[in-house]
Structure 1
C-alpha cells in the first residue's frame, strides 16, 4: 500500500478515526476528572565529607560525597527510615506507604540529595517531608560515626526546607487529554487499516481490472435527485442536458467502439455477480444512449426469474421472450415499441419453470442471429452470474458480456467468481461497468464532472 492508497483509506474511514480520537480524549478527560489531586512537598540536602586542609584532601572529600549521595538516595525508602519519619510526623501510615509515596534522586555529578513526598493531603505531604528533614540527617550522622567514636565522616544538611504545596502536581488534565487524543488518533488509524484489511469490497477501477483482467469501460455515478425523471426514476433524462449520469452512459457508448475496433460488439449481455448491482438500470440507459446517437436498439428482458426492465420502463409484460423460445409466437408479434425513439423492447413474457433450458436452446441462438440483422445493437438484461447460470449461457451465444459491479458493495470474491463462471462457459467478458454506491467525494474525477455539469445546468437556468 503506497501513500496514496493509505490516504484514500483514511479518508474513507474518517468517521472511525474521528470517533476514536474523540473517545480517547474524553476517556483521558474523564480519568483526569475522576482522579483526586495529589500534592508534593520537597526537601533538599547537601552532603559533605570530612577532609584535610590541603587541596588534594578537599578533592578526595568531594569525590567521597558524590559517591555517598547515591547510597543515601537508596537509604531513603528503607523501613527503618520511613518508620522514624512516620513517628516524627505523627502520621497514621505504614512505613511501606510512606516509601511508595517518596522518591529520592541524586545527580552523580553533584552532592545534592532531593527527596519528594507525594500525598493527597498537602499538609500531610509537608509533614512527611519535614520528617525526612529531621530523621535523615540524624540517621546519616549515626551511620557515618566510627565505632571507636569521634566526628562523623559525612554529614547531611538541609539546604532547601519543604514548603506547603499549594498547587497539585496531578492530574495534569491538559497533558492527559492531549495524550488521549493522540492515542485515540493512532487507535483510529489502526482500526481503519484493520477494517480495510478485512473489507473485501471492491473500491477502485484498478482493483477491478486486476481481478477481472479486463478494462473498466464505464463508471456510472451515484444517482442524485436532480438526475431522476418523474415517475421513471431509473431512466436517465438524456434530453434534459448534460447530467453526470447522462455523460457517463455516453462515455460508455463511446468506449464500446474501442473494445474491438474492427468488429465492435453489437449483441451482448449485461449481467452482474449478484442481485441489486444496477444491471437492469444500466441496460436500459445504455440502450437510450445508443439510440441517442442514431442507432436502432433492441432491449431484451432475459431475466426470466426476477424481471425488472418492464417495471422500470412502465411497459406490459404479458407476452415476450418466453413465448418465442417455446414456439408460441414470432418475434414480430411480441416486440414492443417504447416511448423512446430508436428503442424497442422484448419483454420476458410469462415466467417459465425452466429458464436455463430455454436460454440455452437452439431457438435462442437462432433468435439472436435473426435480431443481429434487424438492429444495430441488441442489449440483453440477464440474471446475476453467481445464483444461476443463465447469464453465462446467454453470454456464450452473443458477442460477450459486460459485468456490472456496484463499487463499495460487491466483494472481490464475488467478482472473481463471476469472471470464473463466464470463463467456464466459454463466454467472452468484454469489460466492467462500475456503478457507484455512494456520492463522489471532493477531489475525485467524478466530483469535478458533477460540479461542472451542475454548474452548467444552474447557469442555463439562470439565463432562462
Structure 2
C-alpha cells in the first residue's frame, strides 16, 4: 500500500478515526475526573561536609558531599526514618504508607537533596514534608558522628522549607486528554487499516483490472433524482440532456467500439456475479445509448428465472424467448416494439422448468446467428454467474460478456469466481462495467436465495 492508497483508506474511514479519537479523549477526561486529586509538598536540603582550609581539602569535601547525597536519598524510604516522621508529624498513617508517599532525588554533581511527599490531603502532605525536614537532618547527624566522638562529618540543612500545596499535581487533566486524543487517533487509524484489510469488497477500477486482467470499459454513477424521469426510474432520460448517467452510458457505447476495432462485438451478454448489481438496468440503458447513435438494437430478456426488464420497461411478457426456444413460436411473432426508437424487445415469456437446457440448445445458438443479420446490436440480459450457469452458456454463443460489478458491495472473491466461470465455459469476457453502490438493506445471502427460488415477481423488486 503506497501513500495514496493509505490516504484513500483514511479518507474513506474518517468517521471511524474521528470517533476513536473522541472516545480516547473522553475516556481520558472521564478517568481524570474520577481520579482523586493528589497534592505534593516539597522540602530541599543542602549537604555540607567538614573539610580543611586548603583548596584541595575543600575540593575533597565537595566530592564527599556529592557522594553522600545519593546515599541520603535512599534513606528517605527507610522504615525507621518513616516511623520517626510519623511520630514527629502526628499523621494517621503507617510508616510504610509514609515511605510510599515520599520520593527523594539528587542530581549528578550537586549537593542538593529534594524530598517530595504526595497525598490526597494537602495539609497532611505538608505535615509529612515538615516531618522529613525535622527528622532527616537529625538522623544524618547521628550517622555521621565518628566512632570516637566529635563533630559530625556531614550535615544536612533545610534550604527550601515545605509549603502548603494550593493545587493538585495529579491528575493533569489537560495532559491526560491530549494523550487520550493521540492514543485514540492511533487506535482509529489502526482500526481503519484493519477494517480495510478485512473488507473484501471491490472498491476501485484499478483493483478490478488487477484481479481480472480485463479493462473497466464503463463506470455508471449513483443515479440521483434529477437523472430519473417519473414512472421510469430505471431508464436514463437520454433525450433530456447530458446527465452524468447518460454520459456514462455513452462512454460505454464508445468503448465497446474499441474492444475490437476490426470486428467489434455486436451480440453482448450483460451478466454479474450475484444479484442486485444493476445488470438489468445496465442492459436497458446500454441498449438505449446504442439506439441513440442510430443503431438498430434488440434487447433480449434471457433471465429465465426472475425477469425484470419487462417490468422496468412496462412491457407485456406473455410470450417471448421461451416460446421460441421451445418451438412454440417464431421470432417475428413475439418480438415487441418499444416506445424507444430503434429498440426492440424480446421478452422472457413463460418461466420454464429447465432454463439451462433451453439456453444451451442448438435453437438458441441458431437464433443468435439469425438476429446478428437483422440487428446492429443484440443486448442480452442474463442471470448472474455464481448461482446458475445460464449466463456463461449465453456468453459462449455470443460475442462475449460484460461483467457488471457493483462497487463497495460485490466482493473480490465473487468477481474472481465469476470470471473463472466464464473461462471454464470458454466464453469471452469483453470488459467490466462498474455500478456505484446504493446502501444495501438486506443481506446478500438472503436476497440471493429469494431471487432465484421464488416464483413470485414484482415490478417494484430490486434490480437484477
Aligned to 1:311: 311
Aligned to 2:157: 157
Of 99-108 and 389-398, more deviation after overlay is shown by 99-108
Structure 1 gaps of 5+ residues are: 440-464
Question: How far apart, in 2, do the equivalents of 1:101 and 1:232 lie?
Answer: 78
State TM-score, norm by structure 2: 0.94
Aligned to 1:5: 5
Aligned to 1:121: 121
Question: How far apart, in 2, do the equivalents of 1:438 and 1:10 lie?
Answer: 21
Aligned to 1:349: 349
Question: How far apart, in 1, do the equivalents of 2:183 and 2:261 lie?
Answer: 56
Question: How far apart, in 2, do the equivalents of 1:122 and 1:341 lie?
Answer: 90
Q: Does the CA-based 8 Å contact 1:269-1:391 persist in structure 2?
A: yes
> How far did residue 438 of structure 1 move?
5.2
Aligned to 2:269: 269
> How far did residue 35 of structure 1 move?
1.1
* 1:378-425 per-position Cα deviation (integer Å, ceiling 9, x unaligned): 000000000000000000000000000000110000000000000000
Question: How far apart, in 2, do the equivalents of 1:258 and 1:83 lie?
Answer: 94
Aligned to 1:199: 199
Superposition misfits of 4+ residues, deviation over 4 angstroms: none
Aligned to 2:68: 68
* 1:206-255 per-position Cα deviation (integer Å, ceiling 9, x unaligned): 10001110000000001111111111111111111000000000000000
* 1:304-352 per-position Cα deviation (integer Å, ceiling 9, x unaligned): 1111111111111110000000000000000001111100110110111
Report matched runs for 1:167-186 at 5 Å. Answer: 167-186=167-186
Aligned-partner SS, 1:357: helix
Question: How far apart, in 2, do the equivalents of 1:309 and 1:29 lie?
Answer: 58
> How far did residue 179 of structure 1 move?
1.0
Q: Does the CA-based 8 Å contact 1:310-1:317 persist in structure 2?
A: yes
Q: Does the CA-based 8 Å contact 1:67-1:108 persist in structure 2?
A: no
Aligned to 2:430: 430
Q: Does the CA-based 8 Å contact 1:47-1:65 persist in structure 2?
A: yes
State TM-score, norm by structure 1: 0.94
Query: Are 1:131 and 2:145 matched, yes or no?
Result: no
Aligned to 1:104: 104
Aligned to 1:410: 410
Aligned to 2:220: 220
Structure 2 gaps of 5+ residues are: 440-464
Of 97-106 and 269-278, more deviation after overlay is shown by 97-106
> How far did residue 109 of structure 1 move?
1.3
Question: How far apart, in 2, do the equivalents of 1:29 and 1:131 lie?
Answer: 35
Question: How far apart, in 2, do the equivalents of 1:223 and 1:94 lie?
Answer: 75
Question: How far apart, in 2, do the equivalents of 1:44 and 1:348 lie?
Answer: 96
Aligned to 2:388: 388
| Number of residue pairs the alignment of both structures matches | 439
Question: How far apart, in 1, do the equivalents of 2:50 and 2:23 lie?
Answer: 60
Report matched runs for 1:328-407 at 5 Å. Answer: 328-407=328-407
Aligned to 1:302: 302
Aligned to 2:450: none
Aligned-partner SS, 1:396: helix
Query: Are 1:323 and 2:306 matched, yes or no?
Result: no
Aligned-partner SS, 1:373: helix
Question: How far apart, in 2, do the equivalents of 1:158 and 1:331 lie?
Answer: 111
